[in-house]
Amino acid sequence: MKKLLGLLVALIAAAAIYLAITPSPIDPLAWEAPAIPPMTGVLEPNDTLMKAELLGRGQVHGPEDTAVDAQGQVYSGLHDGRIVRIKADGSVETFVDTQGRPLGMDFDAAGNLIVADAYKGLLSIDAQGQIKVLTTEAEGVPFKFTDDLDIARDGTIYFSDASQRFEQPDYLLDLLEARPWGRLLSYNPTNGETKVLLKDLYFANGVALSANEDFVLVNETYRYRITRYWLSGDKAGTHDIFIDNLPGLPDNLQGDRNGTFWVALPTPRKADADMLHRSPWAKSQLAKLPRAFWPKAVPYGFAIALNEQGEITQSLHDTSGTHLRMITSVKPVGDYLYFGSLDNDRIGKLKIR
């Protein structure tokens, strides 16, 4: 017993010395999160997501976002840099390897797959799998974490650079640091011009245009909110908060162009995680630890629908997290929703009408 106690004391002492002499990889700020909204009313938990069909189960790893072509084939980018295609018969094949980390994606009017690759920038991939790099920087600042996109009817691509400080594997460090490193940008395919629309966003993530394209939304994941940037009208060039104090951390965002936005929430908010933001010191120490010691998110599937007034109109859940968990994208296509996940090995397909 004495030997065991001595070993425990030695381990605690070693851990204390390690934390004392190891520099933290972050320079965190304190932040007071608003009270978590109750999961009642439209947010009442349900098991609707358990009804989703599973595509590519066990054959896709980290299918963060999806895109569906004119033939109904489903595309998704994986952890290993490949973009795979799921055919009508359910078989999975490699479409192309970006040798990066493909995240948000969608097809343009010409049938090219436009991809926000965390490492490679904004890409255009034709039907033969030929990759063209569209842009990798704006205002002389290279993209650090190209994340999500939406494409306007005139071909303009609106996209996010989640963080100018941390790359994709270190996204949780951005969460702990709580500083605004993100940007919302636009790319004009006619002249190749890349513009910065907004700076100082708290992890700029999902991007979606309104039905008549008078505004574009961008998720600020680590502030639990969505910011609106006005593209036309009297407010053009200004921005405001579209919705605040969301019940989870908003990831990708997609509009159906009929007045509904779908927001992926990889995990519901937790009070202890929100409380951690009060202490820069605690966050600094946590960031020093190996990831194996970090708190793990509880498996849960969660997505919400918003109208163009910024009101939550519907929520979809998998309370067990056994069917669909850590949902990072919701793609409305026709009568279906497609669900991607940064952490799962499947894509969900749910009939909604």
- Cβ(34)–Cβ(244) under 8 Å? yes
- 74, two tokens: 């489903």
**Residues 6+ positions from 311 with CB-CB distance below 8 Å:** 243
- 302, two tokens: 């969660």
> Cα 166 vs. chain centroid, distance in angstroms?
14
How would you write the pLDDT of the chain (353 residues) with one tens digit per residue?
A: 555 555 554 445 445 565 566 889 999 999 999 999 999 999 999 999 999 999 999 999 999 999 999 999 999 999 999 999 999 999 999 999 999 999 999 999 999 999 999 999 999 999 999 999 999 999 999 999 999 999 999 999 999 999 999 999 999 999 999 999 999 999 999 999 999 999 999 999 999 999 999 999 999 999 999 999 999 999 999 999 999 999 999 999 999 999 999 999 999 999 999 999 999 999 999 999 998 888 788 899 999 999 999 999 999 999 999 999 999 999 999 999 999 999 999 999 999 98
Which residues constitute the domain of residue 164?
A: 2-32+41-351
Three-class SS state of 187: strand
Sheet holding 301-307, edge to edge: 253-255, 260-264, 301-307, 312-318
The CATH number of whichever domain residue 53 belongs to comes to 2.120.10.30
- Cβ(65)–Cβ(105) under 8 Å? yes
Using CB atoms within 10 A of its CB, is residue 274 exposed (0-12), middle (13-18) or buried (19+)? middle
Selection from 163, 254, 243 nearest residue 203 by Cα: 163
User: What is the CB-side half-sphere exposure of residue 241 using CA atoms within 13 A?
Assistant: 9
Residues in the chain: 353
d(CA 222, CA 282): 17
Mean of pLDDT over the chain: 95
Domain tally, the chain: 1
- pLDDT score at 223: 98
Using CB atoms within 10 A of its CB, is residue 227 exposed (0-12), middle (13-18) or buried (19+)? buried
- Cβ(281)–Cβ(24) under 8 Å? no
- pLDDT score at 179: 97
**Residues 6+ positions from 123 with CB-CB distance below 8 Å:** 98, 102, 114, 115, 116, 117, 131, 132, 133, 134
CA angle centred on 183, ends 182 and 187, rounded to 5°: 150
47-65 confidence digits (pLDDT tens): 999 999 999 999 999 999 9
- Cβ(161)–Cβ(145) under 8 Å? yes
Three-class SS state of 18: helix
Q: For 149, phi and psi rounded to 5 degrees?
A: -155, 165
- pLDDT score at 202: 98
